[in-house]
Structure 1
Amino acid sequence: MKEQNYPQAGERLFHSTLENGLTVYYLPKADYNRTYGLFTTNFGSLDTRFIAPGSKKMSHFQEGIAHFLEHKLFEKKEGDVMYKFGALGAQTNAFTSFSRTSYLFSTRENSFECTELLLDFVQDPYFTKENVEKEQGIIQQEIQMYQDDSDWQLFAGLLSHMYPDTPLAQDIAGTPESINAITAEDLYQNYEIFYHPSNMTLFLTGPFDVSKMDDFVRNNQAQKHYTKKEPIERMALEQTKVKSGATKTLDVAMPKLALGLRGDDRLATDSRTLMRYKLSLSLFLDLIIGRTSKRYETLYNAHEIDDTFGFSFDLDKRFHFFSITGDTKNPKKLSETLQEAIKSYKIDSDFNAAHLELLKRDMLGEYFSALNSLEYIANQFSTERYDEINFFDLPEILSELTLEIISKHVDSFIAEMKVVEYTILSQSSEMN
């Protein structure tokens, strides 16, 4: 077991790779009374086309299968695993993203028993024709629930036009048609490929003894037999042309704008450069259109934007993009203003060293405040991990950033970016 110290974050992280390939991280928190566990597989909604280990043939499965599998793992022959966690005094849940699926527990007691239950239920699938058919109806109701959410519709519409004809254009949960086509055999095939320990990570944080917990996890895994597997060959996202200018009419009080900036999918392979790139671009929009910028104040005072206005930067090994969304009375005018601000950022009065230092301090403040949450630490660590660089390296890498470094990364992004507008119009504005 290896130990890594992060002085700026004030954390000690222990790391083990077990014989079956499972990667395990332990973050001791002696002053806490809660243990949090996160068991993650590198398998998400993007992974519908791949070449399985030992095969030369392309496999193609239905959209939504990763999310479907997440739902079904909780159901066993003897009942729902959630009741077992409840009996231990713990809470449990799971979630699926574009590139990963995670199962979790949070507890004030029985941390070893909860860790064992987490490992055992995820590593013991039970799918039948009957329980798959029952789940199809449940997931279809979940899909319909999101269809009634205009903000979800806005983001989903943006993705479908920014990455058309790719898995990113599809709902993580799939469609009613794709869900109906999934079988128990499909679930078992995907499980055997993506739920091998070598494709998974366990993160545990809390007031436990690290050495005892490591022995406990090793003993649990030693009792299970896994054959060694080669890496999965995942399909890159197709370089499809974006579709811009689409609109949709819904029953909303005010039009909604989504502006997407799709980056070139060829990213740096060096993990430190990748983290620096992500932080640079995350700070970039904050500098020129964030709440501390003059442009934000001007737009807000002119009632061109309101409190719904926001933006985010998403980066994965297979994609990265900005999404800027908000309610606005004039979507076209706002889009033009934002695009002009991005392209001419170098002459923006808010793109200056003093403003950057302010935002870096704010980011660090939020970072250290969030370190009080075990859930936040575990989830961010799972997301912000680029080989040897991870979430705990953020303070050090953030301190290295200058306007020149940020400008270099922004210029690289802008040179290749593809711009997409997607608008939801209110029925009243459509009639006008």
Structure 2
Amino acid sequence: MAATRLKRRKFPTINEEFYYNQLENGMTVFLIPKESFKETLAVMSSCFGSIDTNFTVNGKKKSYLAGIAHLLEHQLFEMNKQKDAAYEFTKLGTESNAYTTFDKTIYYFSTADNIKKNLDLLQEFTSQINFTDMSIEKEKKIITQEFNMYQDDSDDYLYQVILSKLYPQTSLAEDITGNRDSIDKLTKNNLEENFHYFYQPENLTLLVAGDFDVKRVYKDIVTTQRQLPDRPKFEIKRSPLKLLPITPTSSMQMDISISKLAVGFRFNFIKKKPKSLIKERLLLKLFFLLLFGWTSEHYQQWYEDRKIDDSFELKIEVSTSYQFVVILLDTKEPIAMSNKIGQTIKKFKTDTNLSASHLQTVKKELYGDFIRSLDSLEALSSQFIDNLWGEETYFDFPTVLQNIEIKDVLEFGEKITKEMQLTDFTLFPK
């Protein structure tokens, strides 16, 4: 594998830059030098998440049970000679972790030294499998306990139920960990197949951010990738989520002290590959923040009237596969609040919160959040990985944000509310 030349992009307005290249084996590398930091953080990301259970491989249909990406994430830490990657990181004095999202699996470490050894370890354990039937069964028990814990947490349960109502009979309706039955039925063969499908280099991105020598680190990565075993290539085509009718309003009782409400909005506004995924995400976020963010009149009035408290939260997700918003809150008036939220959306055209001046206030807040994220390697790395879209990266965020005007938000609101679907779910105290 030849060490092809690194490319460089500079962003003078935010005083940032990064280097990048796609290696000959297909893996993409991003290097973000941050000299003011005394540590380095590296992320290995696979485009394989909890929603990836139905797809075709070289034209053949494949279907797997919920939770497979998460179980594979846990099992990859099993290395040869009964070594554990997490323990190996600890021996190097390094913090490490991993997590699975709807569309990605992320492995990362943070260290102040031994960058090469840590990078070698990260690349090694994510490039080969060494798990056994025994290690899988042991991990299944741990994950089932994790699942039970989520089910007992009222906030986690509330969020999972509203997703299952928005996306019934799809992988989004399942917890990222899967469920008791699916976890139990996943096999070693299932894990091996999905490793080969989704951990091929073309599906991987390696990001390094912090205080390091760019040329040396890049050379080390190229050398390590050359030494790793070849992995077969597969053509993967993901099956789109089936948008079945959402399930209607429902409720249940739980051992809690105050009612918990989730109002879910399902959209389908990305019909084809957008020019800017950041813009699509920002438009949806701005639309909802203008109406329901803490600077809005609605939020301030509801808070003053004690209809809501600090638990009020917006969860906004936009990808090419799904677009939804969930509003979560503790309230003594769940039925009334669900109605108020729904009516606010329906009457947005005459809402005074959707003004140019309010937009500037919210944009300043989002820009401030962006600038603060540049001072956290963990936040920067997470956002950078999550906002890769063609030539677009997280560093394009300020430019995209600056160019959005109130007419863009209003036009976007007009578009998305035409086919928006809405449902809610309430947990009442026993």
Matches within 5 A, 1:172-321: 172-226=176-230, 229-264=233-268, 266-272=270-276, 274-321=277-324
Residues 184-236 of structure 1: per-residue CA shift (max 9 Å, x gap): 11111110110000011000011111111111100111123435625311110
Percent identity between the two aligned chains: 35
Residues 294-324 of structure 1: per-residue CA shift (max 9 Å, x gap): 1111111222111111112101120010110
Residues 30-54 of structure 1: per-residue CA shift (max 9 Å, x gap): 12110000000000111111111x3
Partner of 2:132: 128
Deviation at 1:8, TM superposition (A): 2.7
Residues 256-276 of structure 1: per-residue CA shift (max 9 Å, x gap): 11001100164441332x321
- Aligned residues of 1:331 and 1:423 also touching (Cα < 8 A): yes
Residues 366-423 of structure 1: per-residue CA shift (max 9 Å, x gap): 1101210001111111111221112110000000010001111121111111101111
| Rounded Cα–Cα distance in structure 1 between residues aligned with 2:14 and 2:129 | 38
Instruction: Say which SS state the counterpart of residue 271 (structure 1) adopts.
Output: coil
Partner of 2:372: 369
Partner of 2:41: 36
- Aligned residues of 2:124 and 2:228 also touching (Cα < 8 A): no
Matches within 5 A, 1:76-115: 76=79, 77-115=81-119
Residues 95-137 of structure 1: per-residue CA shift (max 9 Å, x gap): 0011000100000110111111100111121121111111111
Q: Could you list the runs of 5+ residues in structure 2 that have no partner in the other structure?
A: 1-5
Partner of 2:56: 51
| Rounded Cα–Cα distance in structure 2 between residues aligned with 1:416 and 1:4 | 39
| Rounded Cα–Cα distance in structure 1 between residues aligned with 2:73 and 2:363 | 37
Does 1:355 pair with 2:358? yes
Deviation at 1:78, TM superposition (A): 2.5
| Rounded Cα–Cα distance in structure 2 between residues aligned with 1:254 and 1:179 | 32
Question: Aligned AA for 1:23?
Answer: T
Instruction: Say which SS state the counterpart of residue 188 (structure 1) adopts.
Output: helix
Q: Report the TM-score when normalising by structure 1.
A: 0.96
Matches within 5 A, 1:338-353: 338-353=341-356
- Aligned residues of 2:27 and 2:206 also touching (Cα < 8 A): yes
Q: Report the TM-score when normalising by structure 2.
A: 0.96
Instruction: Say which SS state the counterpart of residue 228 (structure 2) adopts.
Output: coil
Question: Aligned AA for 2:393?
Answer: N
| Rounded Cα–Cα distance in structure 1 between residues aligned with 2:173 and 2:68 | 15
Choose which of 148, 155, 158 in structure 2 pairs with 1:154. Answer: 158
Instruction: Say which SS state the counterpart of residue 270 (structure 1) adopts.
Output: coil
- Aligned residues of 2:269 and 2:416 also touching (Cα < 8 A): no
Q: Which runs of 4+ in 1 moved over 6 A?
A: none
Instruction: Say which SS state the counterpart of residue 308 (structure 2) adopts.
Output: coil
Deviation at 1:57, TM superposition (A): 2.2
Instruction: Say which SS state the counterpart of residue 10 (structure 2) adopts.
Output: strand
Partner of 2:3: none
Instruction: Say which SS state the counterpart of residue 385 (structure 1) adopts.
Output: coil
| Rounded Cα–Cα distance in structure 1 between residues aligned with 2:228 and 2:287 | 48
Question: Aligned AA for 1:5?
Answer: K
Choose which of 22, 27, 50 in structure 2 pairs with 1:17. Answer: 22
| Rounded Cα–Cα distance in structure 2 between residues aligned with 1:143 and 1:271 | 38
Q: How many residues align?
A: 424
Residues 322-348 of structure 1: per-residue CA shift (max 9 Å, x gap): 110101111111111111111211211
- Aligned residues of 1:20 and 1:228 also touching (Cα < 8 A): no
Q: Could you list the runs of 5+ residues in structure 1 that have no partner in the other structure?
A: 428-432
Does 1:2 pair with 2:2? no
Out of 101-110 and 295-304, give the one that drifted further: 295-304
| Rounded Cα–Cα distance in structure 2 between residues aligned with 1:240 and 1:152 | 23
| C-alpha distance 268-10 of structure 1, shift in aligned 2 (>3 A) | farther
- Aligned residues of 2:253 and 2:428 also touching (Cα < 8 A): yes
